[in-house]
Structure 1
Amino acid sequence: SISSTLELETVLKQIVEVVVEVTKGDACLLYLISETTDELILRASKNPHPRLIGRISIGLGEGITGWVAREKIPVVIPRNASDDARFKFFHRLPEDRYQAFVSVPITSKGKMVGVINVQHKRSKRYAEETIALLLTIANQVGGAIANARLYDDMRQKARRLETLSQVSETVASNRLIEDVLQLIVTMTAQLMNSKICSIMLVDQASGELRIAATQSLSDAYRRKPPLKVGQSMSGRAVQDHHPVYVSDVKEEDGYFYRDLAKQEGLHSLLSIPMLMKENPIGVINVYTSSYHAFSDEEVTTLQAIANQSAVAIEHTRLMEKSFEMQEALEVRKLVERAKGFLMASRGLSEPEAFRLMQRQSMNLRKSMREIADAIILAEELQRATQ
């Protein structure tokens, strides 16, 4: 039944169930080798709590589990497992409460895939048949895990391409820039299974990064004060024109809001600069709720999204400047026309007519356009009654 599905999480869950049934273990933990780092990540278990899935990482050679992964040799300890010289205590894993411990490597075509740990609360002399069966299971499921991972990778690539296409359509649409940025962070968060995704833009006047869009419902995150460019992780990404990755923001000294990260359950962070012709205009932040080592493909995809976002923002700014220039030209024409009426009707020189309009603008707290419109309207009404 394990080989009958390509859903990775289902495969891992089925493996744990089979191992527990065969060994009658009190706990079973399944670790997989990360595809981006030399670490083992807890991916499935029967005990401890499911919330630890994805949050526990072990380096190769670290503890009994890391030793088994590095040496590709099983370890069987019938009693006092925590007394083993290779044992390492993890404060979130209650491994020291178990007396008996079996750890076997999972391989596929000679390549290390992961490790299965079986634990018993009381001392237990494992029969040779049980260990042999456990090794057989580990060898057989390696291929199923590899196939499920391949399927998962292909599905992720399809999702990335679909998201990039959707972002392109959004950027090319006639939506307001605020709506465009909001859609981008929402789509990015869905793609990356992100706890929080945000876009921060550079305020050129103050040199600060301010949150422009986020899909997070957290008021605490939305109210985060601005950051100076160069400060914190996001500011570094903008300053260095290069992505910045933090494996755990709660433990990172350079991360300013560690208390907020703990409150919101944030773990890993990737900050991608938004560049327009090498000019940084902002940053996209992607936070995960558990440890996540971003792959090269994920970084490339996020950089593409960041660049398209930068294009959308720059296009909007150019449109606004063009509108402002057209508006300024229109106002100048109206002012010139109004000055002409004042010069003709009151015998004023051009500077005198302009100063009169300026005084009226200041005294009445009206714009020069409003003053000019009023003068032109009055002149036209006077002509109409003559």
Structure 2
Amino acid sequence: MQKQRRASIPLITASFFLFLILLLVTRAEPACFPLALIPILLAAVLLGVQGGIASSLVAMVLVSLVITREQGLPWPSRYIPHLIMGFLVYISLGLFAGLWTTTERRRAEAERRRQELAETLGEVSAVLSSSLELKEVLDLILEQLGKVVDYDSACIMLLFDGVLKVVAGRGFPDIERTLQLSFPLEKDALGRHIFETKRPLILPDAQKDERYLGAGGTDYVRAWMGIPLIAKGEVIGLLTIDNKEPNVYSEQTAEMAQTIANQAAIAIENARLYEDMRERAENLSALYEISKEINTSLELERILNVICEEAKKATGAILADVALVDFEEWVWEMKAIRGYAEEWKGRKVSLDEGIHGRVARTGEPALIPDVSQAEDYIAGASQVRSELAVPIVQDDRVVGVINLEHTKLNAFDEEDLRFVQALAEQAAIAIGKAELYQAERKRREMAEALREATMALSSTLDRNQILGRILEQLKKVVDYDSASLQLLVGDRLVIIAGRGFPDIEKVKGLSFPLSGDNPNRHVIETRQPLILADAPRAYSAFREEPHAHIRSWLGVPLMFKDKVVGMITLDKTIPGYYTEEDARLVMAFANQAAIAIENARLYEEVAGEKRKFESAALSMAEGLIILDERGNIVFANPQARTLLALGEGRLEGRSFFEACTHADLIALVGKALTKGESIQEEVTLPGRPLRDLSVGITPVLDEGGAILWYVAVFHDITRLKELDRMKSEFISLVSHELRTPLASIMGYTEMLLTEEPGPLTPVQREFLEISYQSSERLLHIVEELLDVSRIETGRIKLKLERLRMEELVADIVEAMRPAAESKGLSLSLEVRGPIPPLEGDKARLEQVMNNLLSNAIKFTPEGGEVRVRLASRDDHIEVAVADTGIGIAPEEMPCLFGKFFRATSAVERKIGGTGLGLFITKSIV
């Protein structure tokens, strides 16, 4: 502007003098001289515009002097009127021109500023739209603001859940501290005013404003201006501008700042939306990657470490940990850590303590902007300012906590909370799978350990070895420092084995009564495991030797068939060592141990019984062989080896069917094994001389009725058979020899009774009748003895003929009726259906029926009943005789059809008989 003004003055002056010279040269009339006013006015106006009123006045004086001089007037009279007139005219014109030019200059300046503002806003808009990174956008806003509004310091505050947080700043002495500042909106009068009015607020001198001072404003700030950041009609934050000089900012400044703020609000919203979208995308991507990572592993430690690392990385935390919760022990324990000292890992803390404990108890996340305000905060590292803790929930049950900490205030926001909650959901699933896998693996390991322990225990039946192996194998299942095995003997417990004690011999054999207040009594009486987390505190016995070293104690009962036979104790020098899971495992082991101990005891008993049995078996005269269900020889005494000629080799384990060479014996044993029933038969072994054996084979059953083995007893009856043959021959001989004279006696007696030789007196007749009846009985006995002889020698011959059984039985019943009636018995015959004819020996059938009926009548008391039933059954005819007689004992039933057998009841009642009738009857049938 100054250069243009200086260039215009010579040009205007030159133009003026050229016009004046033109008037003088042409000798114009004085009246024409006023025409010089035209260029003068133009010059004045132009100079007024370019140089202002002062320049115009100078030009007017010069022109007036020239005009008066040319008119030839004397100086005073010539110049003064013209000067006065010129001054008046020129002053008026100059003032007008000056006012006009000032207005024009201001208008031009305003236009220039508008153009500059428009250009700046265009630049601001372009610059702000050049980035979607929120931090860059915030820095650009403050940078561009400085081109329009002069400031010493400025900051941007955004609203988060009712709190204004400083997110960007310039010109502050400690920018890091400034960026940590936050102000609750309800307590910030200046901010609340701007939010409510949605208009800028100017403080000409902030130090004189109570609202500013009440908010803790800095003392160097004088002029202050707050501009609302408005997006979609809502205030999202503030732009504050500070100056060290008072009265710097005006409404015009505020208007320009508001224009910038409007652009800034849009840019901030766009950047936040972009950042939210990017963060969501990153979070989703991170969650996907984390999900892949943790779901491809079933190792709990690896999963927890991945969760811890990813949570720390995603949120920018300085410290991170994943803790698991145990409500039974009422503790939380860090299982994975990042940034903490190593001693924190594995440390157990009560659920009543720490942010972890609060989150675990309540199941609610904790977003803590300032940990100094949290009473339950436990310092994991120095200078921690903020914390975020989120529960890991499975089936409405808190199983863990993801915890993050930072050295900055308000380091975590709602977005971090949402991300960690989503991560916790993934973690819950992965932890659940890992825990199931670990539990299953542990079950398999424990099952394998129990299996190995069981195999080790069952590999021997020696009691001393069993006792040693029980405690040895127990340590593989549940660890201990020392352990004891105690058996219940009467009302006392006796320590029969121990391990881990300084001097086991001092402990072994100790016994103590089940009385008083002691944990062993509790275990025996309740039949349940007992865990002592702090044994000395629970029982005074653990405060004295030899138990003073014990802190944790576990007692488990030994149960066999629902009966307590003893107990196992385990102990550790560490308090709180044993868990319910340990108790369950030891209980399972104890069940196997009890079985092993009982088996060893039974084995000792069986071994003792076996020794007794073998001693008896070796000394017995009979041969004895024990066979299993397949016919393999389990035991054979020397007598059996000799009787059956089994040779000198080892018999145990060999098949009887291979060891024995006698076909009849092999068939008999095979029959017994096939039927699974007792068999008693006689077998004749070939050779010189012949050997007769009585063979009895009996199955031995267990409690369930299953066959354990077969006992075969071989009795050499060769001598008895020889004596029996001799007896039979003697009986046959005697019977024949008796029959002839007996027939003669009966013949003469019968003749005398006919009185052919002469008359008889009554007494003589009575004696002869008695003699005849006795002869008949004796003849009947002789006939029975002869029948027995014929049966045993196989000399009975049957004369078969066609018979009507109904008539035969009816005749015999009628023949026996007088004998029955003489005893006051009721004798009846029942014929069921038509009875077909059959072929049989009439005499032998009559003998059978007579034997059965006479037997029934003989053994039925007076007033009793004898019933005969005849019926046709398929292809045979059945005759049954039933009576109400004295009966026979069950134990005598197997002997009923034996030779010379007479029931005890018959002997006691002195009922006569030879005991051959039923034997002959069965033999005939």
Measured against the shorter chain, the TM-score band is 0.7 to 0.9
The structure whose Rg is larger is 2
Q: Which residue of 1 aligns with 2:138?
A: 12
Q: Which sits farther off after the overlay, 44-53 or 10-19?
A: 44-53
* Deviation sequence 1:262-292 (CA, Å, 0-9, x none): x23322x222111111221111113342315
In 2, are the aligned partners of 1:195 and 1:266 still within 8 Å (CA)? Answer: no
* Deviation sequence 1:177-208 (CA, Å, 0-9, x none): 22221221221122222232221112455321
In structure 2, how many angstroms separate the alpha carbons of the residues matched to 1:316 and 1:120?
A: 61
Distance 1:340 1:39, change over 3 A: closer
The amino acid of 1:358's aligned partner reads I
Q: Residue 279 of structure 1: which of 397, 418, 425 is its match?
A: 397
The TM-score normalised by the length of structure 1 is 0.81
In the TM superposition, 1:71-220 aligns within 5 A as: 71-79=197-205, 81-88=206-213, 95-174=218-297, 176-204=299-327, 206-216=329-339, 218-219=340-341
In 2, are the aligned partners of 1:63 and 1:88 still within 8 Å (CA)? Answer: no
The amino acid of 1:322's aligned partner reads E
In the TM superposition, 1:1-386 aligns within 5 A as: 1-34=127-160, 37-48=161-172, 49-52=174-177, 54-61=179-186, 62-79=188-205, 81-88=206-213, 95-174=218-297, 176-204=299-327, 206-216=329-339, 218-219=340-341, 222=344, 226-257=348-379, 263-267=382-386, 269-288=387-406, 289-292=408-411, 294-295=413-414, 298-343=416-461, 346=462, 348=463, 353-358=465-470
The amino acid of 1:142's aligned partner reads A
| 3-state secondary structure, aligned to 1:51 | helix
* Deviation sequence 1:295-334 (CA, Å, 0-9, x none): 2x64343223113223323322322322232233333333
Distance 1:167 1:240, change over 3 A: same
The amino acid of 1:124's aligned partner reads N
Distance 1:89 1:185, change over 3 A: farther
Per-residue deviation, 1:69: 2.6
Gaps of 5+ in 1: 370-386
Q: Which sits farther off after the overlay, 52-61 or 3-12?
A: 52-61
In structure 1, how many angstroms separate the alpha carbons of the residues matched to 2:148 and 2:224?
A: 15
* Deviation sequence 1:137-180 (CA, Å, 0-9, x none): 11222211111111111111101111211121122123632222
In structure 2, how many angstroms separate the alpha carbons of the residues matched to 1:131 and 1:299?
A: 38
| 3-state secondary structure, aligned to 1:87 | helix
In 2, are the aligned partners of 1:28 and 1:45 still within 8 Å (CA)? Answer: yes
Distance 1:139 1:320, change over 3 A: closer
Distance 1:138 1:355, change over 3 A: same
* Deviation sequence 1:18-71 (CA, Å, 0-9, x none): 22332221111111122xx02211111113223135421122251423432333
* Deviation sequence 1:99-135 (CA, Å, 0-9, x none): 1111111112321121111111222332443222112
The amino acid of 1:270's aligned partner reads L
Distance 1:333 1:137, change over 3 A: closer
In structure 1, how many angstroms separate the alpha carbons of the residues matched to 2:230 and 2:224?
A: 20
Per-residue deviation, 1:225: 5.7
The amino acid of 1:306's aligned partner reads A
* Deviation sequence 1:72-124 (CA, Å, 0-9, x none): 22121222x13313224566xx6222111111111123211211111112223
In 1, are the aligned partners of 2:137 and 2:271 still within 8 Å (CA)? Answer: yes
| 3-state secondary structure, aligned to 1:264 | coil
In structure 1, how many angstroms separate the alpha carbons of the residues matched to 2:222 and 2:346?
A: 47
In structure 2, how many angstroms separate the alpha carbons of the residues matched to 1:54 and 1:154?
A: 24
In structure 2, how many angstroms separate the alpha carbons of the residues matched to 1:176 and 1:224?
A: 17
In 2, are the aligned partners of 1:59 and 1:66 still within 8 Å (CA)? Answer: no
Per-residue deviation, 1:294: 3.2
In 2, are the aligned partners of 1:40 and 1:57 still within 8 Å (CA)? Answer: yes
In structure 2, how many angstroms separate the alpha carbons of the residues matched to 1:7 and 1:103?
A: 24
| 3-state secondary structure, aligned to 1:29 | strand
In 1, are the aligned partners of 2:370 and 2:410 still within 8 Å (CA)? Answer: yes
In 1, are the aligned partners of 2:155 and 2:241 still within 8 Å (CA)? Answer: yes
In structure 1, how many angstroms separate the alpha carbons of the residues matched to 2:232 and 2:447?
A: 73
| 3-state secondary structure, aligned to 2:132 | coil
Q: Which sits farther off after the overlay, 188-197 or 331-340?
A: 331-340
Q: Which residue of 1 aligns with 2:667?
A: none
In structure 1, how many angstroms separate the alpha carbons of the residues matched to 2:348 and 2:456?
A: 45
In 1, are the aligned partners of 2:202 and 2:250 still within 8 Å (CA)? Answer: no
The amino acid of 1:57's aligned partner reads S
Q: Which residue of 1 aligns with 2:776?
A: none
Question: Following TM superposition, where does structure 1 have runs of at least 4 consecutive aligned residues deviating by more than 6 angstroms?
Answer: 361-365
In structure 2, how many angstroms separate the alpha carbons of the residues matched to 1:103 and 1:69?
A: 10
The amino acid of 1:13's aligned partner reads D
In 2, are the aligned partners of 1:189 and 1:197 still within 8 Å (CA)? Answer: yes
Distance 1:332 1:3, change over 3 A: closer
- Count of residues in Structure 1 that have an aligned counterpart in Structure 2: 352
In 2, are the aligned partners of 1:248 and 1:291 still within 8 Å (CA)? Answer: yes
In 2, are the aligned partners of 1:20 and 1:27 still within 8 Å (CA)? Answer: no
Distance 1:54 1:278, change over 3 A: farther
Distance 1:158 1:221, change over 3 A: farther
Per-residue deviation, 1:358: 2.9
In structure 2, how many angstroms separate the alpha carbons of the residues matched to 1:149 and 1:128?
A: 30
The TM-score normalised by the length of structure 2 is 0.36
Q: Which residue of 2 aligns with 1:378?
A: none
| 3-state secondary structure, aligned to 1:86 | helix
Per-residue deviation, 1:337: 3.4
